[in-house]
Structure 1
Amino acid sequence: MSGDSTIEDIREQKKNELQNQTEAETADAGDVPAEPVHVNGTDELTSTIGDYDVVLVDFYADWCGPCQMLEPVVESIAESTDAVVAKVDVDANQQLAAQFGVQGVPTMVLFADGEPVKQMVGFEDEGTLRGLIEQYS
């Protein structure tokens, strides 16, 4: 009976691979993630900015109080707008943070059509961020 078990394992693995492939293709078709996307490194950020029309990048640190206060705001924006929210941990991605001139956290950079259009340092309220995103959506 161990042969039957192996066949079932292989079927399950193939089924999961196909499901993941389908989900990836759906994401490539322009669906915007409903939660913030954690980005590590320049390549991932460049890919995210290139794949979506409007991307709000949240440069944050786990130890930062204002960053923690901003977390529910960015989650709400990711869930309810056409913008993708990308999160970059500045401690793990110091070179990336330096590349965008991040000197304090939280720093938010809004990209539209692959280009940075606005940079904000410090806590921003949800209404301000939504209004800014709507200008470019």
Structure 2
Amino acid sequence: MATDSRSETGTATNEPLHVDGEASLNELVDDHDVVLTDFYADWCGPCQALEPIVETVAEETEATVAKVDVDANQQLAATYGVRGVPTLVLFADGEQVEEVVGLTAEQQLRDLVETYAR
């Protein structure tokens, strides 16, 4: 289960939430309007470089940010077709709407989130 301080209104949280399993991710996607999911691995250099960017996006945008460790959640990563890390999957209104693979600039992620935020 995701550990978070989410409200019951579907508003974003201000820090990334670590997800463990498909049910946990589904719950976040169902409960929040916009969810940016960071599929990462601890050993991945680009993932480590992306981490402060993802944290800033969580703090400063309308998105809820979920973090999925692909080593601990191999089945979940396979479900979403993750073949390389980092992979960012954006959900809006309960549906997967975007996927970005690789190290991504903060402004690009902000723009992506704002496209789907209400």
TM range (shorter): over 0.9
Matched, 1:80 2:60: yes
CA displacement 1:74-120 (0-9 Å, x = unmatched): 00000000000000000000000000000000000000101111111
Greater Rg, structure 1 or structure 2?
1
Aligned partner of 1:66 in structure 2 is: 46
Aligned partner of 1:112 in structure 2 is: 92
- Give the CA RMSD over aligned residues: 1.3
- Distance in 2 between residues matched to 1:59 and 1:48, nearest whole Å: 15
TM score, norm. by length of structure 1: 0.80
TM-fit CA distance, 1:31? 3.2
Aligned partner of 1:132 in structure 2 is: 112
> Taking CA–CA contacts closer than 8 Å with sequence separation of 6 or more, which of the two structures ends up with the larger relative contact order?
2
- How many matched pairs? 114
TM-fit CA distance, 1:132? 0.7
CA displacement 1:39-84 (0-9 Å, x = unmatched): 0000000000000010000000000000000000000000000000
Matched, 1:27 2:32: no
Runs of 4+ with >3 A deviation: none
Could you tell me whether the CA contact under 8 Å between 2:11 and 2:33 is conserved in 1?
A: no
* Unmatched tracts of structure 1, length 5 or more: 1-22
TM-fit CA distance, 1:32? 1.7
TM score, norm. by length of structure 2: 0.93
Q: Which amino acid aligns with 2:11?
A: D
Greater helix share, structure number: 1
- Distance in 1 between residues matched to 2:55 and 2:95, nearest whole Å: 22
Aligned partner of 1:8 in structure 2 is: none
